[in-house]
Structure 1
Amino acid sequence: MNITIRKAEEKDSEKVWHLMKELAVFEKYIDSFAITPEIVRNSGFKKNPPDFYCLVAEDNDKIAGMLVYYFLPYTAQNRPAIYMKELYVDENYRGQKIGEQLMNALKTEAEQNNCSQIKWTVAPWNKVGVKFYERLGARENTEWLNYEWNLK
């Protein structure tokens, strides 16, 4: 196995969508999952600027993992931040430090763009995810509560 971490390209849209769908099943929101391969293609690659950016872990022609993120251009530190929306590694590739490689590539992306931090959320029931992020040196932010306002 020879894993390469790189920025996703339009030709990866279908494979990235497949991993997004697997993540929706894993995180138990598949019933409201509304993304299609066309949405991935149009929103991530044909739009300028794109709605999201994506890093992939590639093993030959197989996409073994993906990390979706976007920039928060304005923060109180007068520097951008990155918001990591999705991190997912195919079940067949887990335990091989692919998630760590994707996170390190995101850290490099943040540094190259003068970002002040990387932010994300993790479900409290995802104990494996929590341990993974803490092992990387991330810490839970208990100073803020997450809210959402769902619209029709």
Structure 2
Amino acid sequence: MNDVTISKAKREEAPIILEFIKGLAKYERMRKYVKASVEDIERNIFDMNRAEVIFLRRDEKPIGFAVYFYKFSTFLARPTLHLEDFFVSDEERGKGYGKMVLKYLAKTALENHCLRFEWDCLEWNKPSIRFYENLGAKPLRGWIPFRMDGEELKKFAQED
């Protein structure tokens, strides 16, 4: 792992970010839902700073990526670092990079005065769930994620 580093993605690497997004979507069996473009990534990540992207690199070549952003807890009046997505190329899995990236993000959370570090995991992804629990992470019980999108979002936003 000595030859593997973590660094922030650069704007000119937006096409690489998109390729990792597609790889993640394939792994999660959700490829048909990817609508992102290089322009979307440039605008929302690099121009509007809505998220951060880091690359896991071997000899400067990206072999994985993570996307994260900050949420805010009103009860604590402090931020939470939320890991949106994390993906490592197939041939690089099982080498300890998941723990390496999570430790990096945990340190980033503390450096930014976060009291929490959170992420989501698909219910069917039992190996990842076991991995996270072995690290000491606990699943949140009692919370049900909700989403409004597409036509429902547009219709709701336009209601009087």
Does the pair score TM above 0.5? yes
Paired position in structure 2 for 1:82:
81
Matches within 5 A, 1:1-150: 2-47=3-48, 50-150=49-149
Separation (CA, whole Å) in 2 of partners of 1:78 and 1:63 = 35
Q: Which runs of 5+ in 1 are unaligned?
A: none
Q: Deviations over 1:97-141 (max 9, x none)?
A: 111111111111100110010111111111111112112210111
1:16/1:63 contact within 8 Å kept: no
Q: Which runs of 5+ in 2 are unaligned?
A: 152-160
SS at match of 2:84: strand
Change in 2 beyond 3 A, CA 1:96/1:75: farther
What is the number of equivalent residue pairs in this alignment? 150
Separation (CA, whole Å) in 2 of partners of 1:139 and 1:128 = 15
Separation (CA, whole Å) in 2 of partners of 1:31 and 1:56 = 24
**How much does 1:31 deviate?**
1.1
1:56/1:102 contact within 8 Å kept: no
Per chain length, whose mean CA-contact separation is higher, i.e. which structure has more relative contact order (CA < 8 Å, sep 6+)?
1
- Percentage identity across aligned positions? 25
Give every structure 1 segment of 4 or more consecutive aligned residues whose post-TM-superposition deviation is greater than 6 Å. none
Structure richer in helix, relative to its length: 2
**How much does 1:37 deviate?**
1.8
Separation (CA, whole Å) in 2 of partners of 1:131 and 1:75 = 30
Q: Which has the larger radius of gyration?
A: 2
Amino acid aligned to 2:46:
F
SS at match of 1:143: coil
**How much does 1:62 deviate?**
1.9
SS at match of 2:130: helix
Amino acid aligned to 1:28:
R
SS at match of 2:142: coil
Paired position in structure 1 for 2:154:
none
SS at match of 2:150: coil
1:66/1:89 contact within 8 Å kept: yes
Q: Provide TM-score, normalisation by structure 1.
A: 0.91
